[in-house]
Structure 1
Amino acid sequence: MGSSLKKVLIIDDDTRNIYALRMVLKVKGYECLTAMDAQAGLQILSEQPDVGVVLMDMMMPEMDGYEALSIIRSDEQLSGIPVIAVTAQAMVGDREKCLAAGASEYVSKPIDQEVLLDLLKNKFNM
Structure 2
Amino acid sequence: MTNTISMADAPRTVLIIEDSHVQSKIISKQILALTQFDTTVANSMEDARVLLESSRERFFVALIDLNLPDAPDGEAVDLCLEHGVPSVVLTATFNENIRKRFLERSVVDYFFKGSIQDMDPMVHSLERIFRNQFVKALVVDDSRMALQHLRHLMEIQRYQVLEASDGVQALAVLQENPDISLIITDYNMPNMDGFELVRNVRARYKADRVAIIGVSAAGSGTLSAQFLKNGANDFITKPFEAEEFYWRVNQTAGMLDIIAGLSASRNAND
User: For this structure pair, what is the TM-score category when the shorter chain's length is used for normalisation?
Assistant: 0.7 to 0.9
Q: Tell me what 1:97 maps to.
A: 226
The DSSP-based 3-state class of the residue aligned with 1:52 is strand
Q: After TM superposition, give the deviation of residue 3 of structure 1 in Å.
A: 6.9
Q: Any conservation in 1 of the 2:181–2:210 contact (CA below 8 Å)?
A: yes
1:1-126 alignment, distance < 5 Å: 1=7, 5-75=134-204, 78-79=205-206, 80-125=209-254
Query: 1:45, 1:72 → 2: CA distance?
Result: 9
Q: Any conservation in 1 of the 2:138–2:184 contact (CA below 8 Å)?
A: yes
Letter in 2 for 1:6: V
CA 1:3–1:122 in structure 2 vs 1: closer, same or farther (change >3 Å)? closer
Q: Which runs of 5+ in 2 are unaligned?
A: 1-6, 8-130, 258-270
* TM-score between the two structures when normalised by the length of structure 1: 0.87
List per-residue Cα deviations over 1:40-59 (Å, max 9, x = no partner).
10011111111121001111
Number of residues of Structure 1 aligned to a counterpart in Structure 2? 124
Q: After TM superposition, give the deviation of residue 111 of structure 1 in Å.
A: 3.1
Name the stretch that deviates more: 38-47 or 108-117.
108-117
Q: After TM superposition, give the deviation of residue 110 of structure 1 in Å.
A: 1.7
Letter in 2 for 1:35: A
CA 1:100–1:5 in structure 2 vs 1: closer, same or farther (change >3 Å)? farther
Query: 2:224, 2:132 → 1: CA distance?
Result: 30
Query: 2:216, 2:139 → 1: CA distance?
Result: 13
Identity of matched residues, %: 27
Query: 2:196, 2:145 → 1: CA distance?
Result: 23
List per-residue Cα deviations over 1:20-57 (Å, max 9, x = no partner).
11222212211110001111100111111111210011
Structure 1's consecutive aligned runs of 4 or more residues displaced over 4 angstroms after TM superposition are: 1-5
Q: Any conservation in 2 of the 1:4–1:51 contact (CA below 8 Å)?
A: no
Name the structure, 1 or 2, with higher relative contact order (CA <8 Å, separation 6+). 1
Query: 2:211, 2:219 → 1: CA distance?
Result: 20
* TM-score between the two structures when normalised by the length of structure 2: 0.43
